[in-house]
Structure 1
Amino acid sequence: MPCRVICVTLLLSVGILIHGTKADEFTEEIKPPDWRKTLKSIRNGLQKIDKYLNMALDLVGGSDGRCIFKCNDGRSV
């Protein structure tokens, strides 16, 4: 029985200590997000996707839109 009391006391004291240290983290003021930075990162991501799609299109279709791969008989696919 005393072992249970000691374990419960230890668990409660550890829980109180953890709660006390976590409460200090939330007293700081939350800064609003920088929308310009967010929109810039979204735009940069879309530009990278566009660049990769253009590279894939150039690989398959060539820069002029004509297929660059040729069959054995010399015709373009």
Structure 2
Amino acid sequence: MNNPEVLSVCVNIDIATSSLQTVVQQCKKIVKPDKNGIYQVDPADVLSALVSRFLSEKHFDQYLENEKNYPIL
């Protein structure tokens, strides 16, 4: 990230198996294999970018401000 106001944070998230399968399928559809049949894309990096964009576009900061969204505490 080039934005000094944004940090990269490594976290574990739970997603449906089908969601990860969709990411892999879309990666394979968009990035064709090289001459050796290898896809030069990491689905984990793509998923990270997708989740980051989703959180930004869906106003995650506002979600965080509501104490009711902290049921684990």
Please indicate the TM-score interval, normalised by the length of the shorter structure. under 0.3
TM-score (norm 2): 0.25
More helix by share: 1
Greater relative CO, 1 or 2 (CA 8 Å, sep 6+): 2
Q: TM-score, structure 1 length as denominator?
A: 0.24
